Copies of this chain bind each other. A is one copy, B any other.
Amino acid sequence: MSILLEAPTTADYKNPMNIEKSDLPKIEHAPQTLRDIVQERMRTAIIEGHFAPGERLVERPLCDQLGVSRTVIRETIRYLEAEGLVEIIPNRGPIVALLDWDQAEQIYDIRKQLEGSAAAVCAQCYGGDFAAQLREALATLNASMNDSEWIGVMRATTRFYEVIFYEAGHAIAWDIVQRLNGRISRLRVLTLSAKDRPKPGFSHMTAIYDAILSRDAQAAQAAVQAHILDASAIAQRFLRKETTKVENDG
């Protein structure tokens, strides 16, 4: 089990998550509730692969590990179920959602549409300091690729698209894309960590960057779709390869 989910050393109900003030420096009265924290932790734990797909999420151990009550765990599981990250098996309880290529293909297809549209809109109407933001995101991405830390690459890629979606004013679409990305996070990890090929990804991103900044909506959309097509092709290789194993687990 992940170290991310370690329980507090003592059962301190006044401070069950070991949240120190130093952890929340920005906002004095952080309106963040326990549920939000647990949600965030479990979501990232699943996305970053600390829970295996198909692994059971038993309530009471989770309570112990996170140092919170069952109510919180149950509400969190309900939320993650709605997000598609968790699946409820009748009379068995929640497990980390499984993924087959059929679903993954659908998800890549939806992303192609939504991200392509966002890039196109963005190219047409961007302004302000957007160019600087996108350049910075691209630079961060480049830097993280040299670190060969897949998690950094994933975050930088996310940031890159986040800038695009928000400039396009597509906040809801971004929300959808993020959730979809959560569901295929395992694939993203595989495509990123199997990095005998970091450069093709980066050249794709550069192409997107150039197309948007030159206000070529068509080219921007095409570049995004090419990027996703490439990613999905790599993902397909991996998923096909391990399909047998996954289905044996289920």
Contacts and interface: CB of A to CB of B under 8 A. Distances in A.
Contacts of A170: 106, 109
Nearest to A112: B117
Interface string A58-81: 000000000000010011101111
A28 B172 CA distance: 40
Nearest to A80: B82
A173 B177 CA distance: 11
B173 A110 contact: yes
Query: How many copies of this chain?
Result: 2
Interface in A72-97: 74-76, 78-83, 90-91
Contact of A78 (B78, B103, B180): B78
Contacts of A172: 103, 106-107, 110, 180
A79 B76 CA distance: 9
A4 interface: no
Contacts of A35: 78
Size bracket of the A interface? 20 to 34
A101 to B, nearest CB: 12
A35 B78 CA distance: 10
A113 interface: yes
12 contacts: A31-B91, A71-B71, A75-B75, A75-B78, A79-B81, A82-B83, A106-B169, A106-B170, A109-B170, A110-B114, A113-B113, A113-B117
Interface of A: 31, 33, 35, 71, 74-76, 78-83, 90-91, 102-103, 106-107, 109-110, 113-114, 117, 169-173, 176, 180
Top 9 closest A-B pairs, CB basis? Answer: A82-B82, A31-B90, A75-B78, A106-B172, A78-B78, A113-B113, A79-B82, A78-B79, A110-B173
